[in-house]
Structure 1
Amino acid sequence: MFHSFYKTKEWAFWAYGGGALLILCLWMQVEMSVAINTWYGDFYNLLQTAADYKDKPDEGIALFFSKLIGFDYLINNFEGQPSFLIIAFPYVLLAIITNWFTRIYGLRWREAMTFNFIPRWRTVEDEIEGASQRIQEDCNRFARIVESLGLQVVRAIMTLIAFIPILWDFSSKVDIPIIRDIEGSLVWGSLLVSVGGLLISWLVGIKLPGLEYNNQRVEAAFRKDLVLAEDNKEQYAKQETLFELFTGIRFNYHRLYWHYGYFDLWLNIYDQFMVIVPYLIMGPGLFTGLITLGTMVQISNAFQKVHGGFALFLHNWTTITELRSIYRRLHEFEHNLRRFEKPVLDSPQSV
């Protein structure tokens, strides 16, 4: 899986050159996120003091719109505070390009795995269970999930690098006994609730990987009978056999959905609680005058960014469960190839 893409000269340019380009794009997006977080402070402070402009509303309204869609930052040779439009438009454009290239990157990875498996599989005389599904479907799903999850992991790491110092500095504005005496309390609090949530998620969803794996086995058996029936319906398209196979699929899905049900219950409760955590910690400071509304919004945004980075695996637990199941099947397939394959004298050239 990894060797065919990252340890071959044929795919080195895509694997490492493409990976470096993705990392650069992600870092630029993270820097724009930091700029937006800074913009939040000025904008919400303006809203907090809106009543000060009641005798000069035109000035206040002009300032309001300049914060949102103004071009002064460009006119003044990139000096001052950029408007939301100046930050957000390049961010959206870069995000579109990054997502497009990430999909191409995942497709190349799938291509590398496919071209590695096919010539090896052709030399195998023994039957390998679900070989066609492993080469066609599992390679595709593995590449797509790794493409998506890998992008999130890199983005999360960069987000943590950028936002942890910001959140650490804001920790000095905590005005709750005991917590205010802990240096970097907001960072440690975010880490604590994220790790705790991950551990609970692991316990709640401990049966999911095995259920996903078993589900794919019954799906493969059903698919195999249907494929064989395309050439010989009398022998393979027996109604009672297909109904029996689908009954097994239905039983597995009901069991899988039940376990996903209580996992989703836990995850939704956790996510809703995390929305109010920064307000519970920082809210009192609004009433003591320690922080302004703009600072509160900045802290809330930075806290969610840091928490999101720490809790990446928690929020992608179902995807990781599916990936673990696919990895297990592909690993077994590679193991069987090594057991049964014969040396390949002439392998077809990749396109």
Structure 2
Amino acid sequence: MFHSFFPQPKAFFISATIWSIVCIFAWYFIGEPSAVSLGFGPPPADAQPPIGLGYFIMPDNLFFYAYFLLCTGLFCGFWNLKARNHPWANWSIWGSALIILVTYFGVQVSVAINNWRRPFGDLLQNALSKQPGVTVENFYSLIIIFAQIAFLSIFIGALTDFFTSHYIFRWRQAMNDFYMSKWEKLRHIEGASQRVQEDTMRFSSTLETLGISLINSVMTLVVFLPILFALSSYVSELPFVGEVPHALFWLAIFWSIFGTVLLAVTGIKLPGLNFKNQRVEAAYRKELVYGEDHEDRAQPPTVKELFSNVRRNYFRMYFHYLYFNVVRYLYVQADAIFLITMLVPTIVAGKITYGIYQQIATAFGQVSNSFQYLVNSWTTIIELLSIHKRLKAFEAAIDDEPLPSIDRHYLEQEPGTIHKDG
């Protein structure tokens, strides 16, 4: 799954994680102070950042872009030299780096829009309360600024989607070429054709989606946590608790950890059930395919038993998804009103304007959603785990190892199954 596309995947991903942590700490302890001393520091805390495209070319942002490119280039250059004989090195190393860079740009777009929300929200509040000095031109100018940010984001996003589609297919092609070179060992495994033809594509696309989401979550935390920390100065009191320093910061962490643990515990059985569902469907489909060419296959008793396995597993999935979805929907609905409930004392006291509330809501949502990575991705993670378990059987056959226990179980239990160890 990974060796076919990435060079030394275990070392590659471990080194990428360590290098990312080192670079993040180096930025805060070395890079940012150096930027300030060289005149590339951020504007004062009480200053309103530029609204619009000017945000992207602020001196502190330009300095960080250079630092980001330097760190990425050093890591990719090292691995490119180390894996120069790997056939997919350019796509796996430099392609992954490009996706990460564009993901960071997406976070920057979110910050630029969040900066825009405050003046627009305050202008809207002043207009609705009939304050003097509000003109039509004020609204049109802010709308044009938003359109500029949006159009830039759309242009970059479309190009990124085009590149990502090719990236995913290259990964699928790498797995397909690798598995087909070992086809004599693999073709006897239940559903081997489906695993090569379908599961490779689903695995690469699903893992790429989850990987981008994880990277986006980490980058969002790095960018928005300081913003939320600063916005906490407007909120000093919480319902039922009273005064809490940096209340918004701690609220986001608490609420996200609570949701993550809640849904992880509730959905703990789902990955295994999804995998079993693919197994029983594959066994049923394979028997029907054999029945097209052999009169003695796909006989009613055998087909009935195989379909009963499909029916039984689906009904178990429906039951477990029932209580999982109840808990998930309850949390999602509570999430929609959690922040505003916590802000009631601040709103009633008139400590914030509508524009500041918009900024708080956006920053809190960005931080909490990033911390809720497992919550937001849980169903996708379940699907990925089930696909991973199916492809692990290929890995075992290639390495002449025993099949995973769940594959051995179904080989023993399902009728009409033909298997010969590789």
What TM-score bracket applies, with the shorter chain setting the length? Answer: 0.7 to 0.9
- Quote how far apart the aligned CAs of 1:211 are: 0.9
- Quote how far apart the aligned CAs of 1:22 are: 0.7
Residues 104 and 219 from structure 1, CA distance in 2 versus in 1: closer, same or farther, beyond 3 angstroms? same
- Quote how far apart the aligned CAs of 1:137 are: 2.0
Partner of 1:5: 5
- Structure 1 unaligned blocks of 5 or more: 70-82, 342-351
Residues 263 and 375, structure 2, Cα contact 8 Å, conserved in 1: yes
- Taking the TM superposition and a 5 Å limit, the aligned residue runs for 1:3-82 are 3-7=3-7, 9-51=86-128, 60-69=135-144
- Quote how far apart the aligned CAs of 1:136 are: 1.8
Name the stretch that deviates more: 154-163 or 236-245.
Answer: 236-245
SS for the counterpart of 1:49 is helix
Partner of 1:344: none
In 2, the alpha carbon distance for the partners of 1:208 and 1:311 equals 19
Residues 179 and 185, structure 1, Cα contact 8 Å, conserved in 2: no
TM-score (norm. length: structure 2): 0.72
Paired letter, 1:165: P
In 2, the alpha carbon distance for the partners of 1:340 and 1:37 equals 53
Measured against aligned partners, the alpha-carbon deviations of 1:111-143 in whole angstroms (never above 9, x if no partner) come to: 111111111122x38833332222222212111
SS for the counterpart of 2:259 is helix
SS for the counterpart of 2:237 is coil
State yes or no: 1:181 paired with 2:205: no
Residues 264 and 374, structure 2, Cα contact 8 Å, conserved in 1: no
Residues 23 and 154, structure 1, Cα contact 8 Å, conserved in 2: yes
SS for the counterpart of 1:128 is coil
- Which structure carries more relative contact order (alpha carbon 8 Å, separation 6+)? 1
In 2, the alpha carbon distance for the partners of 1:137 and 1:26 equals 27
State yes or no: 1:217 paired with 2:279: yes
In 1, the alpha carbon distance for the partners of 2:344 and 2:357 equals 8
Paired letter, 2:349: T
Partner of 1:229: 291
Partner residue of 2:319 out of 251, 258, 267: 258
Residues 111 and 280 from structure 1, CA distance in 2 versus in 1: closer, same or farther, beyond 3 angstroms? same
Residues 236 and 244, structure 2, Cα contact 8 Å, conserved in 1: no
Measured against aligned partners, the alpha-carbon deviations of 1:250-305 in whole angstroms (never above 9, x if no partner) come to: 22112102211211111111111112222122232233232111001110111111
In 1, the alpha carbon distance for the partners of 2:257 and 2:264 equals 11
In 2, the alpha carbon distance for the partners of 1:55 and 1:274 equals 37
- Quote how far apart the aligned CAs of 1:332 are: 2.4
Partner of 1:200: 262
Paired letter, 2:112: A
Partner of 2:152: 90
In 1, the alpha carbon distance for the partners of 2:90 and 2:228 equals 38
- Quote how far apart the aligned CAs of 1:53 are: 5.1
Residues 172 and 250 from structure 1, CA distance in 2 versus in 1: closer, same or farther, beyond 3 angstroms? same
Residues 191 and 172 from structure 1, CA distance in 2 versus in 1: closer, same or farther, beyond 3 angstroms? same
In 1, the alpha carbon distance for the partners of 2:235 and 2:270 equals 40
Partner residue of 2:389 out of 313, 316, 328: 328
State yes or no: 1:107 paired with 2:169: yes
